[in-house]
Structure 1
Amino acid sequence: MPKKRSGGGLSPTQQAAKFLGVSVLAGAVMAGIALPAVGALGLAAKGSVESFDELPANLKTPPLSQRTTILDADGGLIATVYSRDRTVVDLKDISPYMQKAIVAIEDSRFYEHGAIDLKGVLRALNKNARSGEVSEGASTLTQQYVKNVFVEEAGDDPTKVAQATQQTIGRKIQELKYAIQVEEELGKKKILENYLNITFFGQQAYGVEAASQRYFSKPAKDLNLQESALLAGIVQSPSRYDPVNDEAEAKKRRNVVLKRMAEVGDISPEQAAEAMRSPLGLKVSKPQNGCTTAVKGAGFFCAYVRNVFLNDPVFGKDKQTRAKLWNQGGLTIRTTLDPKAQESVQQSLKDHVNKSDEVAAAATLVEPGTGKIVGMGQSKPYGSNAKEHETEINYSVNYEMGTSAGFPTGSTFKPFVAAAALEAGRPPTQEYPSPYELTVPSPIQTCGKPYTNDDGTKIPNENESEKGPYQLKEAMALSVNTYFIEMVADIGLCPVAEMAEKLHVRQGSGKKMPQVPSIALGTESVSPLTMASAYAAFANRGMYCTPVAIESVTQRVGNKNESLEVPKSSCSRAMSENTADTINALLKGVVDSGTGQQAGLGDRDNAGKTGTTDERRNAWFVGYTPNLSGAVWVGSATQQVKMQNITIGGVYHELVYGADTPGPIWKDAMTGALEGKEAESFVPVHIPDPKPKKPDDRDRDRDDDGNGDGGFIGGLINGGNGNGGNGDGGGDGGNGGEPDPEFSIPEGFIQGPGNGPGGRD
């Protein structure tokens, strides 16, 4: 047998084999020598067969990277993600023209020879010797397939790719041995199927199915003769014969393939001539890779799903393993996203906030009882183009899942304080003095060291006219600050912190809520998803369910789809049914006659709470029905914009409130999402109205966004039925009875509609 010469030289046979681009074993075959045992070659240089046994042993089903497809709850496409765009298909789903074209141009004797084509080797050797260069290779389709497996195993590591494709004797030996194994174990049809699924066709398309979709926007099974010839021709040099960039060169190559198909008898000369005259017929589809290409405005939701996948151990032992599965695993991920709800969210955001506005808005909808995230969107598009006002920061979720730290929630935190108080035994008629301004009581019990007001901190209400006493129903409807500070002082901070934990309400950073009185006023930053999920527990009669975005995951393995385990929602009781029902009744009052009237859903039972933070840097509305919960935030991601004398969505606002901007976004998003769904009802709870105060105490509107109390006052004074007028904290609205001559009150104040300036929420 040929042996290696001293000094590292090769025998003439070996040199010829290397020059030809085939292995030492092929050289041995050319010389008519039987195939030697691999170990007998004695090649010890780098790239030799000494690590042969470490290579993948089973090439029947190689680990081909495939695209991952993300679907909504109805099976509609959201996005595809991949490191290599590939969809594996069976041979029966590949056009017969395509099968014949690739064999004709790459290995016309494919069905006649084994792993090595001796005639092809001799023909190539003769041609290359005459030309003085390697103008024709002798690798069979099987050998090319094996080489592609090596490249696939190398992944995106350029060093490994170079090693997989290097022209060394050792590598060619490895390639040949595998080719022999593959021929013995797979058979011709399976080899052809695998080859067509693994090879690169340019334009980011791996495998014939992806290539067919890329160049012709059709499945591989529908490729005609000339389309098949074009794709088969690309394989030899995807960059040189790229039809998108050089139609003329691609057409020449296509016609070479057609001519070869006629020469081997796959088609007639007439068919070949007719096909050669046809145009390329391209119908190119732009590569759609990643969440930036997500449809339905679901880029942020797509990114959230990705982060859930990459962070949950259920999908792999470490992040690197999970990332490889995400990018290469050929997964089909069905999510919880309701296309109808998502469309409603996006349309509402678009209608109320422009992407170019100084501020942004984010909205998230969650299904009570299941934790399913059915809608998630933002006013600024998902992407990295700052000129187009795009962002990749997901304002709806915590920092770990979207690089946003959340936002101060304002008065939307007050229902958690009320729930803690009810659980601690306080009645819904609980009354506190609630002065206009209150020095925070000290000390206040916590779960550890008591809080002390060492600095003499004072908390005011929005207006000097806001002074109690108040009971819980009225204090919640009017969002009275000092009332909830007194409530915290009464029950202590520990029950509030524990309630927040039961509702999984944590800061956007993931830290627990600090045990300080100011949390009652929403000073800590929380994400919209956290708030929507927490309020969903009220709708679910006290049962909290962790949010979920993934319904199912299947993976294509060979010819089968295998189901993978997915994270499930975990539900636990956060409060009693009676407490939740009472909170529902309290928050119904907010939308019926309190600060949240602009968000009301009419005849459908709904409840919610407004929130506006210091200097109007954030505005919120969080609300729900028995079957859907949603949170809307409006503000600046940098917290630098004060929403005063500002235009949002083309509408000028002297002052922004939780009800006048987030409220309508929430209302429109919920209305569309709930269209056609049953109008379920809350379990009714009767909370007695507080005793009427003196007229001069009621002669104002204590809320900031709701109805004026003029009508109420008129009715109170005259014994009639007064209806409050709409106003931003104004007190001029309403229709009352006839003025009582004993009271010197302007007639218009009692009877005439009007608007007044607003305040906090």
Structure 2
Amino acid sequence: MRKPDGLFKLLGLCLLAGVLVAGILFPVVGAAGVVSNQASETVDKTSSDLADVPPPLVTTVTDSAGDPIATLYSQYRLPVKTDQINDAMKWALISVEDKRFYEHHGVDWKGTLRAAVSNGAGGDTQGASTLTQQYVKNYLINVVNRNDKIAQEKAQEQSIARKLKEARIAIQLETKLSKEQIVAGYLNIVEFSRQIYGVGAAAQSYFGVPPEKLTVPQAALLAGMVNNPIANDPWNHPAAATTRRNLVLDRMVDNQKLAKADADRFKTEPLGVTPDGPQKPAANCIGAGPENGFFCQYVEEYLRQQTGMSKDELYSGGYTIKSTLDKRANHEAKISAETQVKKTQNNVANTLSLVRPGKERHEVVALAANRDYGTDQAQGQTTYGLPYDVANVTGAGSSYKIFTAAAALDKNAAGIYSTIPTPQTYISKVFTSGPGGCGPLVAQATWAYCLSNYGEGNYGPQMSLQQALATSPNTGFVALEEKVGLGPVLDMASKLGMRNTMASNPATGGTVNPKSQEPQERESQASFYGPKGNSPGIGAFTLGFSPTSGLELANVAATIVSGGKWCPPTPIAQILDRNGNPKPIKEAPCEQVVPEALANTLAVGMSKDSQSGTSSRAAREAHWDRPTMGKTGTTNTSGSGTYVGATPQLAGAAMVFRHPGNPNGGLRYNGPGNVVAVQGDGNMFGGMTPAQTWFGAMGNILKDQPALPLPAPDPKYTGGAG
């Protein structure tokens, strides 16, 4: 005998002895077998993990009627029961992976001994795993440690120690589960490539059938894949997949579960998988489609940001999330937005966000945009949260005068019928705009803030606050802001609903970054525009030139017509866990942010816009005749436009603005210029495209509902001190 052969034989015998000792530590008693109570703490913990960590499942998002709109998942898995898996699939798997599955109790000692000798002679240490052992390994890889690459590598390392630990757990498992349960468990866990896990999802994705309908060659293909899903992918590697399928058919013949003649016939058949890849739903909100995708994305972001649910929990929890989406309302909003601004028009977003008012909940019912939701920019698609995020970086214009009017009522500085000054030009000695801010009006007044009303002769020297809300003179609201103080106006904006907006930075609408080199990115809007030291703050705030969320602006209107009751704009109606049990989520409580009498009076103060104000033309063209509170807004140089309004049944905000993320504009407004819409001279005004979008959608949405009156004003807030 050559010396190396003797060493290999000696090593093999030593390893064989080690396996036999391990066998003594795993005593099997009776038909089921009992694990020694000396099992290590590590093994016990792993066994506990297998029992306590459920497999990732698909989360389904539905509309308010319960109809699915999207699926969210990291692993596409459709769990099935034992009786939903046919014999062809079971025997194909057993024949190729563990021929003696029904003869052992978790560990195939005959195969293990053979593998130990082979390993001792330099063979592969991975041999001899039973289905039960593979179930343990796959559960650790695909479930317990799915987000831990190091732990996944340990669960696959080629070592005797890992195999022995796996064997002990397998024996424990077989004392708790039947053979049929183990086969079903394995087939529910194992990977089939391309985010497809489990035979239920694989049968549907590969062949478009449930697992009980799999044919023998189909089952053989799937059984052959579990050994190496990537290498045996039938679309990328059809030859390898065919070879592997045919091997499984041969093993079924060897195991006397298939006649050789049938196997030979099956080998001639094509793979038969669905053309162009697996048939499975999108793994995220892309599956909601171009119309409902923004709403789905808001659901996801709301749950993650407002309730603390992690993405992993959301994408693996198997939840059924019933949203508040009204698909009909969303469709009408989408149609109206596209009617006014083409979806492919360069650098223009037209959005409409709708909220149902109430004193207990403010449910979001629609989030629409002219642009489609998706990733194909050439087709006008985007995944930016246009209808709900702080996405309008050019501002909402004069719609912010709502906050000045509300603060004036709150501080008894004016009532809705009070007379306020509205001169054509105004020079503020309270607010400043920097050197040269007044231009030729006051050549030396570098400390002054100067402004004028739009157009010549459009306004008289004074008017009621109600008329000012309808016709929107700039000078009157800056003067009113001086009287009230900017602090209360900023506070009112936050209280009524602009909470994320006021917490964002004034440059991009993004998160405040104290380390940024841009001063405007280092502060929140509430801080940046507000009073500091001897500075009274930036009086132009009431003219609405800062980044804005359309959804929050819609919720401001909902708060006002809800009697001053603010509630978070929620897209969630109900969440059920994987077992069908309700899952409570923690949402911000509703707050009475202003007296109900004030809110009711403010709604009346804003009721003339659609009758004789800046949106009256759009209202007439839409044949609108409902009692409505509303306010238009247009930013400097017609950079963007807004209409925010509400009836007692529904509130909403429409905004036209530069499209964030556009390669020509980025996330920041880059200087003067008009957002080009589809009508008129191309200039944007809140009373044009935004108001037309709002009335166009709301008229169809509310056509079958009664025209309800606005609440009566309270005398306390009608006269004031103006």
Q: Same fold (TM over 0.5)?
A: yes
The answer to whether the Cα contact below 8 Å between 1:293 and 1:299 also exists between their aligned partners in 2 is yes
Q: Counterparts of 2:347 and 2:222 in 1: how far apart (Å)?
A: 49
Instruction: For 2:356, give the aligned amino acid.
Output: E
**Which among 683, 688, 691 is matched to residue 660 of structure 1?**
688
Secondary structure of the equivalent of 1:294? helix
Q: Counterparts of 1:534 and 1:9 in 2: how far apart (Å)?
A: 82
Q: How does 1:24-43 map to 2 (within 5 A)?
A: 24-25=18-19, 34-35=24-25
Moved more, 63-72 or 108-117: 63-72
- In the alignment, what sits opposite 2:231? 240
Q: Counterparts of 1:192 and 1:60 in 2: how far apart (Å)?
A: 16
Q: Deviations over 1:209-258 (max 9, x none)?
A: 22123212343344333322221121122123211223343234333333
Against the structure 1 CA distance between its residues 93 and 675, is the aligned structure 2 distance closer, same or farther, given a 3 Å change threshold? farther
Structure 1 position 436, deviation (Å): 0.7
Is residue 2:216 matched to residue 1:186? no
Against the structure 1 CA distance between its residues 406 and 95, is the aligned structure 2 distance closer, same or farther, given a 3 Å change threshold? farther
Is residue 2:448 matched to residue 1:429? no
The answer to whether the Cα contact below 8 Å between 1:605 and 1:679 also exists between their aligned partners in 2 is yes
Q: Counterparts of 1:10 and 1:75 in 2: how far apart (Å)?
A: 68
- In the alignment, what sits opposite 1:289? 283
The answer to whether the Cα contact below 8 Å between 2:126 and 2:158 also exists between their aligned partners in 1 is no
Moved more, 333-342 or 270-279: 270-279
Against the structure 1 CA distance between its residues 686 and 544, is the aligned structure 2 distance closer, same or farther, given a 3 Å change threshold? closer
**Which among 70, 73, 89 is matched to residue 79 of structure 1?**
70
The answer to whether the Cα contact below 8 Å between 1:49 and 1:171 also exists between their aligned partners in 2 is no
**Which among 594, 614, 623 is matched to residue 613 of structure 2?**
594
Against the structure 1 CA distance between its residues 59 and 397, is the aligned structure 2 distance closer, same or farther, given a 3 Å change threshold? same
Q: Deviations over 1:516-557 (max 9, x none)?
A: 43222223332111111011112223222211122233332x
Q: Counterparts of 1:659 and 1:504 in 2: how far apart (Å)?
A: 22
Secondary structure of the equivalent of 1:428? coil
- In the alignment, what sits opposite 1:671? 699
- In the alignment, what sits opposite 1:706? none
**Which among 343, 346, 350 is matched to residue 338 of structure 2?**
350
Against the structure 1 CA distance between its residues 100 and 634, is the aligned structure 2 distance closer, same or farther, given a 3 Å change threshold? same
Secondary structure of the equivalent of 1:289? coil
Against the structure 1 CA distance between its residues 196 and 427, is the aligned structure 2 distance closer, same or farther, given a 3 Å change threshold? same
Is residue 2:583 matched to residue 1:564? yes
- In the alignment, what sits opposite 1:376? 367
The answer to whether the Cα contact below 8 Å between 1:114 and 1:180 also exists between their aligned partners in 2 is yes
Q: Counterparts of 1:216 and 1:176 in 2: how far apart (Å)?
A: 35
Q: Counterparts of 1:463 and 1:356 in 2: how far apart (Å)?
A: 28
- In the alignment, what sits opposite 2:141? 151
The answer to whether the Cα contact below 8 Å between 1:371 and 1:547 also exists between their aligned partners in 2 is yes
Structure 1 position 272, deviation (Å): 4.4
Secondary structure of the equivalent of 2:172? helix
Secondary structure of the equivalent of 2:353? strand
Q: How does 1:162-181 map to 2 (within 5 A)?
A: 162-181=153-172
Against the structure 1 CA distance between its residues 670 and 494, is the aligned structure 2 distance closer, same or farther, given a 3 Å change threshold? same
Q: How does 1:173-572 map to 2 (within 5 A)?
A: 173-267=164-258, 272=263, 275-283=266-274, 284-286=278-280, 288-312=282-306, 315=309, 322-353=310-341, 354-369=343-358, 370-383=361-374, 386-398=377-389, 404=391, 406-425=393-412, 426-440=414-428, 442=430, 455-465=447-457, 466-506=459-499, 507-510=501-504, 511=524, 512=526, 514=530, 516-556=538-578, 560-568=579-587, 570-572=589-591
Moved more, 493-502 or 203-212: 493-502
Is residue 2:677 matched to residue 1:648? yes
Q: Deviations over 1:173-206 (max 9, x none)?
A: 1100101100111221221121111111112211
The answer to whether the Cα contact below 8 Å between 1:395 and 1:406 also exists between their aligned partners in 2 is no
Instruction: For 1:245, give the aligned amino acid.
Output: N
Moved more, 388-397 or 362-371: 388-397
Against the structure 1 CA distance between its residues 136 and 83, is the aligned structure 2 distance closer, same or farther, given a 3 Å change threshold? closer
The answer to whether the Cα contact below 8 Å between 2:404 and 2:477 also exists between their aligned partners in 1 is yes
Q: Counterparts of 1:678 and 1:222 in 2: how far apart (Å)?
A: 53
Secondary structure of the equivalent of 1:657? coil
- Measured on the aligned residues, the alpha-carbon RMSD in Å equals 3.6
Secondary structure of the equivalent of 1:470? strand
Instruction: For 1:13, give the aligned amino acid.
Output: L
Secondary structure of the equivalent of 1:347? helix
Q: Counterparts of 1:610 and 1:185 in 2: how far apart (Å)?
A: 68
**Which among 651, 660, 663 is matched to residue 629 of structure 1?**
651
The answer to whether the Cα contact below 8 Å between 1:98 and 1:225 also exists between their aligned partners in 2 is yes
Secondary structure of the equivalent of 1:374? strand
Is residue 2:632 matched to residue 1:610? yes
Q: Counterparts of 2:672 and 2:405 in 1: how far apart (Å)?
A: 29
The answer to whether the Cα contact below 8 Å between 1:503 and 1:534 also exists between their aligned partners in 2 is yes
Instruction: For 1:551, give the aligned amino acid.
Output: A
Structure 1 position 383, deviation (Å): 4.8
Q: Counterparts of 1:496 and 1:328 in 2: how far apart (Å)?
A: 44
**Which among 145, 148, 152 is matched to residue 161 of structure 1?**
152
Q: Deviations over 1:331-388 (max 9, x none)?
A: 3322222222222232233333223422222321111112111111333444555555
The answer to whether the Cα contact below 8 Å between 2:348 and 2:676 also exists between their aligned partners in 1 is no
Relative contact order, higher structure (CA 8 A, sep 6+):
2
Moved more, 573-582 or 226-235: 573-582
Q: Counterparts of 2:327 and 2:86 in 1: how far apart (Å)?
A: 34
Q: Counterparts of 1:109 and 1:147 in 2: how far apart (Å)?
A: 19
Equivalent pairs: percent with the same residue? 32
Against the structure 1 CA distance between its residues 12 and 260, is the aligned structure 2 distance closer, same or farther, given a 3 Å change threshold? closer
User: Which has the larger Rg?
Assistant: 1
The answer to whether the Cα contact below 8 Å between 1:433 and 1:470 also exists between their aligned partners in 2 is yes
Instruction: For 1:415, give the aligned amino acid.
Output: I
Structure 1 position 627, deviation (Å): 1.3
Q: Deviations over 1:536-586 (max 9, x none)?
A: 112223222211122233332xxx334322133632223344433333333
- In the alignment, what sits opposite 2:507? none
The answer to whether the Cα contact below 8 Å between 1:77 and 1:295 also exists between their aligned partners in 2 is no
Against the structure 1 CA distance between its residues 193 and 14, is the aligned structure 2 distance closer, same or farther, given a 3 Å change threshold? farther
Q: Deviations over 1:660-695 (max 9, x none)?
A: 1112222233334435445433235599xx9xxxxx
Against the structure 1 CA distance between its residues 110 and 679, is the aligned structure 2 distance closer, same or farther, given a 3 Å change threshold? farther
TM-score of the two chains, using structure 1 as the length reference: 0.76
Secondary structure of the equivalent of 2:582? strand
The answer to whether the Cα contact below 8 Å between 1:417 and 1:488 also exists between their aligned partners in 2 is yes
Against the structure 1 CA distance between its residues 136 and 503, is the aligned structure 2 distance closer, same or farther, given a 3 Å change threshold? closer
Secondary structure of the equivalent of 2:245? helix
The answer to whether the Cα contact below 8 Å between 2:125 and 2:160 also exists between their aligned partners in 1 is no
Q: Deviations over 1:615-652 (max 9, x none)?
A: 111211111221111112212133237554x6435x46
Against the structure 1 CA distance between its residues 411 and 36, is the aligned structure 2 distance closer, same or farther, given a 3 Å change threshold? closer
- In the alignment, what sits opposite 2:669? 639
Q: Counterparts of 2:374 and 2:333 in 1: how far apart (Å)?
A: 18
The answer to whether the Cα contact below 8 Å between 1:49 and 1:174 also exists between their aligned partners in 2 is no
Against the structure 1 CA distance between its residues 480 and 497, is the aligned structure 2 distance closer, same or farther, given a 3 Å change threshold? same
Structure 1 position 409, deviation (Å): 1.8
Against the structure 1 CA distance between its residues 305 and 271, is the aligned structure 2 distance closer, same or farther, given a 3 Å change threshold? same
Instruction: For 1:104, give the aligned amino acid.
Output: S
Structure 1 position 501, deviation (Å): 3.2
Q: Counterparts of 1:192 and 1:358 in 2: how far apart (Å)?
A: 56
The answer to whether the Cα contact below 8 Å between 1:296 and 1:342 also exists between their aligned partners in 2 is no
Q: Counterparts of 1:685 and 1:125 in 2: how far apart (Å)?
A: 89
Q: Counterparts of 2:11 and 2:581 in 1: how far apart (Å)?
A: 52
Secondary structure of the equivalent of 2:681? strand
Unaligned runs of 5+ in 2: 1-6, 29-38, 433-444, 505-523, 531-536, 661-667
